[in-house]
Chain A
Amino acid sequence: MTATGRTAPETDERLVRTSPLRKLLGRPELGSIVGAVAVFLFFAIVADSFLQSSSFGTVLYAASTIGIMAAPVALLMIGGEFDLSAGVMVTSAALISSMFSYQMTANVWVGVFVSLLVTLGFGAFNGFMLTRTKLPSFIITLGTFLMLTGLNLGFTKLISGTVSTKAIGDMEGFESARKVFASYLTIGGVEFKVTILWWVALVAVCTWILLRTRFGNWIFAVGGEAGAARAVGVPVIRTKIGLYLGVAFAAWVSGQHLLFSYDVVQSGEGVGNELTYIIAAVIGGCLITGGYGSAIGSAVGAIIFGMTSKGIVYAEWNPDWFKFFLGAMLLLATLLNAWVRKRAEATK
């Protein structure tokens, strides 16, 4: 290359101190990966059956049910917002599919499709209310959370007469829908639930969107400094509504899994799960104030969840301890993330 003075030098003498280690320290996922390794080693030592190949499938399944939601929730948090309605929205999606198909005696796939539209409607409602009223998303989605909780119970009792839906296992289309949402593959003698595939695909798509598309650039921007983003022409409202639609889509996938793996749906389920998704995203390096984080980190957060919840069982401890572990993990991960980010930014 001929030097013209216009092109930047290939290497800058001021960059010598950026070691590969420093680059690694700058990644948002780092804290969660360190945590995941620690949790893995811990349970590998205290629980004998934790390292069995069958446990591997079980842990990944537990992680996938959380991870499917945690990935879009992480994107939403990077975009600077919360969704407290994500947990019960999963139950709503399952109830709608089940009850619509049963009441209309339609092919189950029709119910599944109607559920997709209605669930996306919930997401659009969240996004629309947020951008219209400019109230904090905490309040808006807390409202949606309570309303959906009430609607789930109310409609189910009104239609089925009990708190759970009728079994739809013998209806047309159930088997094929089960194959898509709740089957399992056997690889090397180990059962892997299909949700793991959904999870991997969703994390891959979320990562692609976040790092390699214009929309991803806008997500970072609206979460980091919405005013600046708006000033340079980023469609802030469209971006936020899009993020809520993403969460709603994942809630629909999770809801269909819930329905097709158990056949009946309990209308009171899902309460509290919204916090689990947020915790997984935060452990994975998402900044609670927005503008920073990763989808891969949320997957690592979900794996930590899966390992802890199943590891305690394999260690034959009382599962009551799970919540304590979770709380401790959340604090440690957040502290580690904050420390790592400070170092990475200060020493550059």
Chain B
Amino acid sequence: MTAPQAPAPRDTDTARPALVELDHVSKYYGNIKALENVSLEVHAGEISCVLGDNGAGKSTLIKIIAGLHRHDAGTFLIEGAETTLANPRDALDRGIATVYQDLAVVPLMPVWRNFFLGSEPTKGAGPFKRLDVQLMRETTRTELLRMGIDLRDVDQPIGTLSGGERQCVAIARAVYFGAKVLVLDEPTAALGVKQSGVVLKYVAAARDAGLGVVLITHSPHHAYLVGDRFVLLKRGVMSGSHTRDSVTLDELTRQMAGGSELEELSHELERAPAPDHLGGRPVGDDTP
């Protein structure tokens, strides 16, 4: 396996602006505050993790970075310049590629068609302008091999691959098409331990290739394995922002789980008596 490119230095040059920077960004859906005053920096060769429980605003944050939604307040900077993205195509053209958990690929289409979807290479001109099928197949094969995915058959429907492999194909695609920023929406959510490890390895490989990565997750363990910066979201607001040096895994887990809330919950669970309406009866009592 050849390494993709020379690894970029991990310590970022502070003089260079961040690839993507959100500064006190807010988003409202009608009268609902989906996101308020959230700040996030993404640097080349770094992984910025966004942690939060369900409903914390992670999806909204992704949609703003991916160009699906526009932010209502705050500033959105791409390489130092203030921007508002018009649509996902606009984001792609500026080098921001997003890989969604469920929407990464079209399951019934062959792997090679999926790999090039939306950016298909063509040859010929006029009415005979056609897909360069041979190039598409070969590139798919070699690019996936470079990322360490040895595919049996690029013609198989991508739905027949495992969840981890599908995520990896989507990541490999983004890297191939020259993404500068990779946004990953819970890439390890529905995966087992081993599969998660495989995906995280590719995330790290993308970082080493010099990309800036936004990793959305609700697992502090996965985040801490690869992350350089951590932003914690809770109910639409930022409840914490750390660099790797300033936080430990235990602290991250505690903040993520809600700290004192969790202690309270465990306390409640311990003392909760069996509710009467559920027919609370001692175990082993089988009198009718």
Contact = CB atoms under 8 A, between A and B. Distances in A.
Interface of A: 5-8, 12, 14-15, 18, 208, 212-214, 216-218, 220-221, 224-225, 227-235, 287, 291-292, 345, 348
B2 A229 contact: no
Interface string B63-82: 00010000000000000000
Contacts of A235: 89
B117 A221 contact: yes
B104 A345 contact: no
Interface string B143-154: 001100010110
Interface of B: 1-2, 66, 88-89, 92, 98, 100, 102-109, 113, 116-120, 122, 129-131, 133, 141-142, 145-146, 150, 152-153, 156-157, 159-160, 173
A82 B117 CA distance: 23
Contacts of B141: 8
Nearest to A205: B127
Contacts of A5: 1-2
Query: Sorted from nearest, which 6 A-B pairs have the closest CB atoms?
Result: A232-B118, A233-B118, A224-B106, A228-B103, A225-B106, A227-B103
Contact of B116 (A12, A217, A287, A292): A217
B108 A224 contact: yes
Contacts of B173: 232
A331 to B, nearest CB: 22
Given A213-B130, A231-B100, A12 B113 contact: no
Given A217-B117, A224-B108, A224-B109, A8 B103 contact: no
A15 B155 CA distance: 12
Contact of B142 (A7, A214, A234, A345): A7
A230 B105 CA distance: 11
Nearest to A287: B108
A75 B242 CA distance: 51
A228 B173 CA distance: 13
A224 B107 contact: yes
B130 to A, nearest CB: 4
B152 A217 contact: no
28 contacts: A6-B145, A6-B146, A12-B152, A213-B129, A213-B130, A217-B109, A217-B113, A217-B116, A220-B106, A220-B109, A220-B113, A224-B106, A224-B109, A225-B105, A228-B103, A228-B104, A228-B117, A229-B118, A231-B66, A231-B98, A232-B92, A233-B92, A291-B107, A292-B108, A345-B159, A348-B152, A348-B153, A348-B160
A100 B183 CA distance: 57
Contacts of A8: 141-142, 145, 150
Nearest to A4: B2
Given A8-B145, A220-B109, A345-B157, A234 B117 contact: yes
Nearest to A290: B108
A230 B107 contact: no
A112 to B, nearest CB: 23
Nearest to B132: A212
A30 to B, nearest CB: 16
Contact of B152 (A14, A208, A232): A14
